[in-house]
Amino acid sequence: MTDRDLRYWLALKFTEGVGNIGIRNLLSAFGTAAAVFRAAREDLKRVQGINDRAARNILAFRDWRRIEREMDLASRSNVSIIMAKDVLFPRYLLNIYDHPAVLYVRGTLRKDDVNVAVVGSRKASTYGKYTTERLSRELALQGITVVSGLARGIDSAAHRGALMAKGRTIAVLGSGIDVIYPPEHRELYERISELGAVISEFPFETPPNAPNFPVRNRIISGMSLGVVVVEASDKSGSLITARLALEQGREVFAVPGSIDASGSRGTHKLIREGAKLIECVNDILEEIIPQIDEAGQKRLAKEGARSARREKGETRGVPEAALSDEGQMKILKMLSTKPLDPDSIIAATGLRPQDVMRTLLTLELMGFVEQLPGKRFIRKDQDV
């Protein structure tokens, strides 16, 4: 798509009263964005969703300086602006009725991305973050691209889990592509841009205002084949994402938690309402894989085999000297072939619960530790 096309698409986006559905209908009626601005007012008004005021605003549009500035910012920020007709526009997202006309992208989108969203509470528990990192890592190892919202808690754990596996992950922002929120996730933002993509439908410099986040949630669910909710209170924004996923015809999964935890109320409600309870990554894959075409399934199988070989090669024979801190050594030395639960490890080591859970995940990724059913851990034989 040429710069001229892009200018007219952005002009429609910035015209008050038009909106995403109006843009879609206008393009369907007139063929190109440029043709919309040459149309007669009465012809514009015949398009569904375009009233007299919107038609007047289209014909009165003169803010081309703003368009030039937006395109210049994109060029200087290493950001691509893609239209809904672009070949790299997420294909599943096109199936929702109010898909964005424009996406700002930092990083790389792929035509063959198979996306699964992983979302949840910003006030995540240690269990929630650990489970999220594990599931996201295992999805990434299978060639799945993990989509989330860069927020604190479950979202950031989802991105980190995928990055641990050197997999692809996509962050959907509720602000302009140049506004990192929360600000402490700048490093994570950069890593996601390198191995996947950060995307937004909002113009540059848009602040992270509260109404933006429910709006962006439809993109998280819309570009994915399924949505996994790990932890959510009964009023969590993640439940909005799950509801949108159902409306869009997507799969909804929920991770069960403690009946005493407030963060489990939302996920348990989803399960009661028909969401699939998941205990491992296979519970997700068995619903997702049949929706992918044969070429996509072959690609995922190849990616899974490659990841397995890479993991095996990276962890076999790794010496204990490679361990980076005292907590890792302390936990590893107390583990044996006798399974231990996290509470026992916490009591024996005196370490904080969150440190124990994160360290166990790190040791598992390094191949020193294996998790058994029932969330019990044993030491693995490195000579196997």
Specify the pLDDT at position 92: 93
Note the pLDDT tens digit of each residue in 360-377.
877 776 678 888 877 888
pTM, two decimal places: 0.81
Q: List Cβ neighbours of 164 (8 Å cut-off, separation of 6 or more).
A: 133, 137, 140, 365
| pLDDT (mean) for 236-257 | 91
Q: Give residue 323's pLDDT.
A: 54
R_g of the chain, CA atoms, integer Å: 23
Query: H-type helices in 109-168, by residue range?
Result: 126-141, 154-164
Residues of the chain with pLDDT > 70: what percent?
Answer: 92
Per-residue model confidence (pLDDT) at position 367:
73
Instruction: Give mean pLDDT, residues 345-368.
Output: 79
What pLDDT, in 10s, does the model give residues 142-187?
899 999 999 999 999 999 999 999 999 999 999 999 999 999 999 9
Amino acid 304: pLDDT:
65
Choose the weakest-confidence range: 113-117, 261-265, 321-325.
321-325
Q: Which of the pair, 240 or 207, is modelled with greater confidence?
A: 207
Residue type, 10: L
The total domain count for the chain is 3
CATH, residue 352: 1.10.10.10
Which residue stretches of the chain are H helix?
Answer: 3-14, 19-30, 33-38, 41-45, 52-60, 64-76, 126-141, 154-164, 186-195, 212-222, 237-247, 265-272, 281-288, 294-315, 326-334, 342-349, 353-366
Q: Give the integer Cα–Cα distance in Å for 178 and 189.
A: 10
Gap between the Cα atoms of 80 and 87, Å rounded: 13
Q: Can you give 307-321 as a three-state secondary structure string?
A: HHHHHHHHHCCCCHH
Give yes or no: residues 206 and 145 share one domain. yes
pLDDT for res 314: 52
Would you say residue 283 has pLDDT above 80?
yes
The residue-averaged pLDDT of 312-339 equals 67
Residue 282's pLDDT is 87
Residue 82 lies in a domain: no
- Closest listed residue to residue 359, CA positions, set 335, 336, 334, 327: 327
On whether both 49 and 183 belong to a single domain, the answer is no
**Measured distance CA(307)–CA(55) in Å, rounded:** 53
Same domain, 279 and 339: no
**Residue type at position 252:** V
In this structure, the answer to whether residues 33 and 123 fall within a common structural domain is no
d(CA 274, CA 107): 36
Mean pLDDT of 21-36: 96
The SS3 call for residue 109 is coil
Looking up residue 59, the CATH number of its domain turns out to be 1.10.150.20
Q: What are phi and psi of 61, to 5 degrees?
A: -60, 125
- Average pLDDT on 266-284 reads 91
Residue 314 lies in a domain: no
More confident residue, 302 or 15: 15
Q: Show Cβ contacts of residue 222 under 8 Å, excluding neighbours closer than 6 positions.
A: 90, 92, 93, 95, 96, 99, 244, 248, 250
* pLDDT, mean of residues 17-46: 96
Instruction: Report pLDDT digits (tens) over 195-231.
Output: 999 999 999 999 999 999 999 999 999 999 999 999 9
Q: At 229, which helix (H) or strand (E)?
A: strand 226-229
Residues 362 and 285 reside in one and the same domain: no
The CA distances from residue 135 to 27, 68, 124, 282, in Å, are 40, 43, 15, 10
Answer whether residue 384 shows pLDDT above 80: no
Give yes or no: residues 254 and 138 share one domain: yes
Q: Which residues pair with 111 in a beta bridge?
A: none
Helix, strand or coil, per DSSP, at residue 281: helix
Q: Are residues 236 and 331 in the same domain?
A: no
Q: Are residues 244 and 355 in the same domain?
A: no
Of 59, 76, 93, which residue constitutes the final position of a domain? 76
Mean pLDDT for 322-348 is 80
Both 284 and 325 in a single domain?
no
Boundary-marking domain end, from 76, 91, 115: 76
CA-to-CA separations, 15 to 35, 71, 200, in angstroms, rounded: 15, 16, 18
87, part of any domain = no
Whether 184 and 255 map to the same domain: the answer is: yes
Number of C-beta neighbours around residue 302 at 10 A:
11
Query: Quick one: 164 and 36 in the same domain?
Result: no
Q: Which of 77-86, 306-315, 360-369 has the lowest mean pLDDT?
A: 306-315
| Tokens standing for residue 63 | 């803010």
State the pLDDT at residue 93. 96
Strands in 197-200's sheet, in edge-to-edge order, are 80-83, 102-107, 197-200, 169-172, 145-148, 115-119, 226-229, 251-254, 276-277
- Show the domain range for 210: 106-295
Same domain, 255 and 288: yes
317 pLDDT higher than 50: no
Tell whether 93 is covered by a domain: no
Average pLDDT over residues 71-83: 96
Split at pLDDT 50, 70, 90, the class of 313 is low
Tokens at 221, concatenated: 């669910």
Determine which of 101-110, 140-149, 316-325, 335-344 has the lowest per-residue pLDDT on average.
316-325
pLDDT band at 315 (very low <50, low <70, confident <90, very high): very low
Tell me the pLDDT of the chain averaged across its residues: 89
